[in-house]
Amino acid sequence: VFGYMVGYFVIAFVLLPIYYRLNVTSIYEYLQGRFGIVSYKVGAISFFISRVLGASFRLFLVAIVLQQFVFDAWNVPFELTVVLSILLIWIYTFRGGIKTIVWTDTLQTLFMLLSVGLSIYFINEKLGWGFTEFLDSEELKEYSKVLFTEDFFQKNHFVKSFLGGMFITICMTGLDQDMMQKNLTCKNLGDAQKNMVSFSLILIVVNFVFLLLGALLFIYADRFDVAIPLMDGEPKSDLLFPEIALNSGLGMVVATTFILGLIAAAYSSADSALTSLTTSFCVDFLGIEKREVSQQKSLRKKVHVGMSLLLILVVIAFKYVLDRNVIDGLLTVATFTYGPLLGLFAFGVFTKYQIMDRLVWIVALSCVFIVMGLSYLPAEFLGGYQIGYELLPFNGLITFLGLYMIRKRI
């Protein structure tokens, strides 16, 4: 999380000035101006895949909770649950656009924070604690270690986590069409930078509160013997919060705010992702701006429907292939798909070289396969070294080196 904050400062003072200076509709247009059309397409494809998977992870979390705790009792198939979830998003993004997204994001964030706050209050009340007693409790001390610095080979060592967090933010926010389109609606660069810096500070506080809730859930589960629910016969820690909120006697207030908060947390990113996927596909792949106005509206509608169907298929597929918790799955995928973007933007910003644009896709694809291969190497093969989220900056680095190898020699 501290790495996130540094990442937001990099976005505010390095990337935002570039976007505002170029006045681009799609942030990947920068790559076209700097390197050429192939680099532009590689960046756009990287975003597209990353965003489809990222939005699908979040929607999958909502879908499995609704399925497990609501629709299973009515014998509604998981596939229909997914369709209904995405249909809700489709309706209001189809009617609105970016202004609708900004306003709905605000309301959804409010619901999410309200859910966390009320959950902490009522769980503490059930445990017989006030908030300060919870902070002073012996049980919390088991979960309150923040800086892991003993063994650099461990996956969660502080340096790895810090660097991983910083680059995850730079890529998943600063190089992400979905996230940046909201900042690019600010009136000027100064307002956008203030927004980004203030957000980075608020983020630390909000993440700290979420981590407190996570510790509190495990303390509560230990105290009252609440087992982690099973999904397809395997324990699924993603389902512990809904199990406690809905089935452990905390009352209707916690249950209701949990459902609202869960849907808000996922939809706040998924709705804007659907809009930005539509924008990216229309602008970056179909060249919508070169078409007549009458054609543009019809094409956007068709693409919007297509993106919705794509999300449905990917979310359904996750039920059968995902073998880890949703957050770890999301961040692991980011280390693969955002690496080429990181390398391309870094090479464009920090060097003056031109490259052989037609070879960029070979570099990007090779780096993704190299990093995916590394991620599956057992720790014993690496002398006990456990690979974490530092794979993302490594992916960016080897992409950078690959681009250097295909630079044009004067």
Instruction: Write the CATH number for 348.
Output: 1.20.1730.10
Q: pLDDT at residue 278 above 90? A: no
In a domain, 37, yes or no: yes
Tell me the pLDDT band of 187, cut-offs 50, 70 and 90: confident
Task: Give the residue ranges of DSSP H helices in 70-97.
Answer: 78-95
Tell me the pLDDT band of 261, cut-offs 50, 70 and 90: confident
Query: What percent of the chain is modeled with pLDDT above 90?
Result: 35
Q: 3-state DSSP call for residue 158?
A: helix
The pLDDT of residue 410 is: 62
Average pLDDT estimate for 195-208: 90
The pLDDT of residue 196 is: 92
Q: pLDDT at residue 108 above 80? A: no
Tell me the pLDDT band of 9, cut-offs 50, 70 and 90: very high
In a domain, 355, yes or no: yes
Q: pLDDT at residue 232 above 80? A: no
State which residues form the domain around 165: 2-405
Q: pLDDT at residue 2 above 70? A: yes
| Number of domains within the chain | 1
Strands (E), 243-361: none
Q: Tell me the average pLDDT of the chain.
A: 85
Average pLDDT estimate for 202-216: 91
The more confidently predicted of residues 90 and 314 is: 314
Sign of CA dihedral 289, 290, 294, 299: negative
In a domain, 410, yes or no: no
Distance of CA 1 to the CA centre of its chain: 14
Cβ–Cβ under 8 Å, residues 335 and 389 = yes
